[in-house]
Amino acid sequence: MAVTDEAIEKIKGMIVSGALRPGERLPKESELASELGLSRNSLREAVRALSLIRILDVRQGDGTYVTSLDPQLLLEALSFVVDFHRDDTVLEFLAVRRILEPAATAMAASRISEQQLDALGAQLDKLGANPSVEELVASDLDFHRGIVQSSGNSVLCSLLDGLSGPTTRARIWRGLTQEDAVSRTLHEHRAILAALRDRDGEAARSWATVHIASVEQWLRSTL
Amino acid sequence: MAVTDEAIEKIKGMIVSGALRPGERLPKESELASELGLSRNSLREAVRALSLIRILDVRQGDGTYVTSLDPQLLLEALSFVVDFHRDDTVLEFLAVRRILEPAATAMAASRISEQQLDALGAQLDKLGANPSVEELVASDLDFHRGIVQSSGNSVLCSLLDGLSGPTTRARIWRGLTQEDAVSRTLHEHRAILAALRDRDGEAARSWATVHIASVEQWLRSTL
DNA sequence: TGCGCTGAGACGTCGGATGTCTCAGCTCAT
DNA sequence: ATGAGCTGAGACATCCGACGTCTCAGCGCA
């Protein structure tokens, strides 16, 4: 195995074993390199790789730190990976989302706060009846994120965030400008919100399913 | 932005835009470095990072290639990330799995082949009534993987694979040697298989839910 | 007391040298 | 003619040392 890969494993081991705690600072590159028995260049490759997936946080002029290791942070790397997929697998991602999002919405029904409900309502009101596509996409993203956050499961939240990342979402919405898609989306959002207000988990789940299924159907027909 | 990060973005762009196709070979390091306007050392950091998340495949003495970009391959990186999470977030991962796995099992009910059903049955038979913990863990992993593969959604499959990776799973099962957990697990597996044979998606979903919920409950009580 | 400067320390980048590995193509015996 | 085995070119692996840039703490001055 290459020394760099060994270094990655060793650093991973130090973190998993607890020798390096979240937020803690690593020895400086030259020291860590000699500790692990490799050159600074090779060590840097390992550090760079771990920093891409948000395990390490490198600050020039300061030092290298272990991140908080929040699920939110780590799963952020997922969206990077998702970006590489082309349209042919988008349907599969969407299918997964169709499983997760309704479940998350249902979970949120019993936990979401009044303030959060009000905030979501205000957001929908602000959008108006004839938003631009860009506004709608941004609003859609915020709306669902807001709900999923209230599910109380940060892993679930990050996962959905990654799955329905800007790229995927934007690609789906593009070309959807015509039709009654906009008004239907707005209507579905209001229905979801109403179900949440009623604390009706099953209704919320159903509306969320319908909401995503309609996108899925449209996408399937155009592909 | 650091030159290495720029390089990562540029390589990513080349792949996403289609300039570099899956399986294709990259220019040699020195050429690519000068193309992108940075040193070979810095470029190597970028390449190493992309290779950690399975975007690139570096073969010494040969060259650097774009991987197949299969969802399966890319989401493999997920398990690497999951490894970093400690017990306090395992419950959240498990909750997500409790959402996905029953859905996948239900999907499989209508698609799984007779051969696959037979193979799963044979696997359970081979295990016997008193397997060791290690055998049970391996069997459990295989059993669920086999079913989820029959869901026909490779993203879903890889995602579940990552979520219930060896580490998490092993950690959960450790200490579960006593009790009636083993026999109950075997019984639940048989029930899931029977539901699949009946092509009864809802029964399969329910058994899968029960199966995971029991692990979740046990874990919650010991944490 | 507070602002601003300054220097030590840490990461960022580079160029070059050398080792190791892979693969294609050649040689040669069968 | 064919196959094994050798060999050399090419590509990645690793290291070294040097210099640039940035951050932050601490000093000095108003």
Residue A148 C-beta-side C-alpha neighbours within 13 Å: 25
Considering only alpha carbons, which residue of chain B is nearest residue A101? B99
Query: DSSP string spanning B116-150?
Result: HHHHHHHHHHHH-SS--HHHHHHHHHHHHHHHHHT
Residue B62 DSSP label: T
The pLDDT tens digits for B36-71 are 999 999 999 999 999 999 999 999 999 999 999 998
Query: What pLDDT, on a 0 to 100 scale, did the predictor assign at position A221?
Result: 81
Percentage of residues in chain A with pLDDT exceeding 70?
Answer: 96
Q: What 3 state SS string does A90-109 have?
A: HHHHHHHHHHHHHHHHHHHH
Element of type H or E holding A63? strand A63-66
Query: What pLDDT, on a 0 to 100 scale, did the predictor assign at position B218?
Result: 82
Q: Mean pLDDT across the stretch B179-206?
A: 92
Contacts of A159 in chain B (CB under 8 A): 96, 159
> Residue A61: is its pLDDT beyond 90?
yes
Do A84 and B12 lie within an 8 Å CB cutoff? yes
Radius of gyration, alpha carbons of chain A:
22
Angle (CA) B17 B12 B85, round 5°: 135
Q: Mean pLDDT across the stretch A68-93?
A: 85
How distant is C1' of D15 from CA of B168, in Å? 38
Tokens coding A101:
């999002």
Element of type H or E holding A58? strand A56-59
Give start and end residues of each alpha helix (H) in chain A: 3-16, 29-36, 40-52, 71-82, 87-109, 114-127, 133-149, 154-163, 166-173, 181-197, 201-222
More confident residue, A86 or B127: B127
Contact B57, B185 (CB under 8 A): no
Which residue, chain included where needed, has tokens 């997922």? A78
More confident residue, B22 or A171: B22
> Residue B176: is its pLDDT beyond 70?
no
Angle (CA) A170 B8 A88, round 5°: 40
How distant is C1' of D4 from CA of A106, in Å? 68
More confident residue, A142 or B1: A142
DSSP strands (E only) in B18-104: 56-59, 63-66
| Pick from A29, A51, A36: nearest CA to A4 | A36
Contact B104, B156 (CB under 8 A): yes
Alpha carbon distance A29, A60 (integer Å): 12
> Residue A165: is its pLDDT beyond 80?
no
> Residue A69: is its pLDDT beyond 80?
yes
Percentage of residues in chain A with pLDDT exceeding 90?
Answer: 65
Taking CA atoms, A113 is separated from A110, A123, A139, in Å, by: 9, 15, 20
CA distance A205 to chain B (A): 13
| Pick from A46, A69, A67: nearest CA to A56 | A67
How distant is C1' of D23 from CA of A54, in Å? 21
* Closest nucleotide to A28: CA versus each C1': C10
Q: Mean pLDDT across the stretch B195-208?
A: 97
Alpha carbon distance A44, A158 (integer Å): 28
More confident residue, A219 or B150: B150
Query: What pLDDT, on a 0 to 100 scale, did the predictor assign at position B181?
Result: 78
| Pick from A122, A206, A135: nearest CA to A173 | A135
| Pick from A2, A60, A49, A8: nearest CA to A32 | A8
Query: What pLDDT, on a 0 to 100 scale, did the predictor assign at position B158?
Result: 92
Nearest by CB to residue A93, choosing from B16, B103, B155, is: B155
How distant is C1' of C18 from CA of B53, in Å? 30
> A1: Cβ–Cβ under 8 A, 6 or more apart, which residues?
none
Chain C bases having any atom below 7 Å from a protein CB: 8-16, 19-23
Query: What pLDDT, on a 0 to 100 scale, did the predictor assign at position B144?
Result: 95
Positive or negative, the Cα torsion across B193, B199, B203, B209? Answer: positive
Q: In a 3-state reduction of DSSP, which class is residue A22?
A: coil
Query: What pLDDT, on a 0 to 100 scale, did the predictor assign at position A184?
Result: 86
CATH of domain B3-66: 1.10.10.10
Query: What pLDDT, on a 0 to 100 scale, did the predictor assign at position A17?
Result: 93
Alpha carbon distance B125, B189 (integer Å): 11
Mean pLDDT of the residues in chain B: 91
Query: What pLDDT, on a 0 to 100 scale, did the predictor assign at position A167?
Result: 67
More confident residue, B195 or B184: B195
Do A153 and B53 lie within an 8 Å CB cutoff? no
The pLDDT tens digits for A195-214 are 999 999 999 999 999 999 98
Query: What pLDDT, on a 0 to 100 scale, did the predictor assign at position A174?
Result: 67
* Architecture, CATH, for domain A3-69: Orthogonal Bundle (1.10)
Alpha carbon distance B72, B81 (integer Å): 15
Please say whether the structural domain A72-222 has been given the CATH code 3.90.870.10: no
Top-level CATH class of B73-222?
Answer: mainly alpha
CA distance A44 to chain B (A): 7
Which region among A140-144, B58-62, B182-186 has the lowest average model confidence (pLDDT)? B182-186
Highest average pLDDT, of A87-101, A121-135, B139-153, B178-192, comes from B139-153
List the domain boundaries for chain A. 3-69, 72-222
> Residue A3: is its pLDDT beyond 80?
yes
Contacts of A155 in chain B (CB under 8 A): 89, 92-93, 95-96
Nearest by CB to residue A155, choosing from B77, B80, B96, is: B96
Nearest by CB to residue B156, choosing from A44, A96, A153, is: A96
